Structure 1
Amino acid sequence: MTLDDIDGLIRIETSPRERATPIIMQMMRSVYPHDEVFGDYCTVNSYVDCPPGELFDYLADTRCLQEWTYSLRGFTPTEEPGLWLAYDRLGSETKIFTRTVANRQAGTVDYHCAWDQGTHLWMIYLMRIVDAQVVLDRPGSVVLWTNCHHPFYDRNPYPQTAPPQRPVWVGDFWDMFGAGHLLELRNLKAIAEYRHRQGLSVTPSWMR
């Protein structure tokens, strides 16, 4: 089997530039449907004027979510090492459980979360901190943040753990994730840049 046996590939060997250019132009639009951009994946990005190592240290501590997210508050450790309990005020008195998986060498910080229960952390927030000097030729960081539309966003897999009379489910907000996450990323940028400009540690003393 060779690449020639695979349908749908567009490579210069089989599609010269003159043939590929109209295809690419057709893919480019001035307006994109919201569901096409944010249906299966929600990705937001930003430049942050703060050293990547300092930003990584801050984001790798789960408690930072209490500062820059819109609605996660009151982080306390659970009996399970590395697992934190907080409240997502989008869901009134909704418990949210979070475990942070970070890799300094790769610059990745992933938040594994779930509403109501801490056994199956299916809400995964994937973040990467990139050295802006490498990709933008300027000091600072580039933050890449992606969520995937897990099927549980469409239906609560653990209804028995939900608080009574809660009117919403986290998936009800999926269409707003793009704007909501951009709002939160702007919060992160404002906090990190302010502390860096003031000569302060990006990670506050209460977290150290």
Structure 2
Amino acid sequence: MINNPKFLIGMLTLFLVSLVACNPSDESSAILDNQSEKNNSAQNTNDDASLVDNKDASSNGKTDKENDETDEKAETPSNNPDKENSASLKEVYLQKLNETKTEMDKLRDNPEDSSTYALKNVESERFDVWDEMLNEVYGILEEQLPANMMGQLRQEQRDWIENRDNTAKEASIKYAGGTMEQLEYVAVMNHLTEERTFELVREYMK
């Protein structure tokens, strides 16, 4: 029976069929295993990429916040004295003179009483204030103006002082010998000194 060729061929055919039937299954299994490994690897890679992206996003968020803070600081005006540069020294002094004028006018309009003595005290006080203000402005101009221009102003100021004193003297003569003589003299001095202080600031100060 074993020597029967038909039997041997049949057995061999069966063996080959069985062998062929088993091999595709193994290859499929191998392919599935490989595909699974690739999927796992891809998943791990995606997870890693996600972690990196999240880390970068977190880092970028921090950087953006820092940038925002930097921008805010850049937009915040600094407490720099140069900020006061928005108003020139000339504008500052014109405001100062106007405030002084308001105070001095109130002082003149509200004396302690109406006596000549009280009025003279008010005018004397006003003169001290305006004379001091004039000297302050003049001192600033000495620092601001070039030497040749300051030389001209110095001579102009000497002429002005002489003219002021003469004008005040002439105005007071009509009250010569009376109690109003000195009051008129100081009142005119005040008026001219106030005008000159404003004039120096407007025409010469920067």
Normalized per residue, which structure has more strand? Answer: 1
TM-score w.r.t. the length of structure 2 is 0.24
- Bigger radius of gyration, 1 or 2? 2
TM-score (norm 1): 0.23
| Structure with the largest fraction of helix | 2
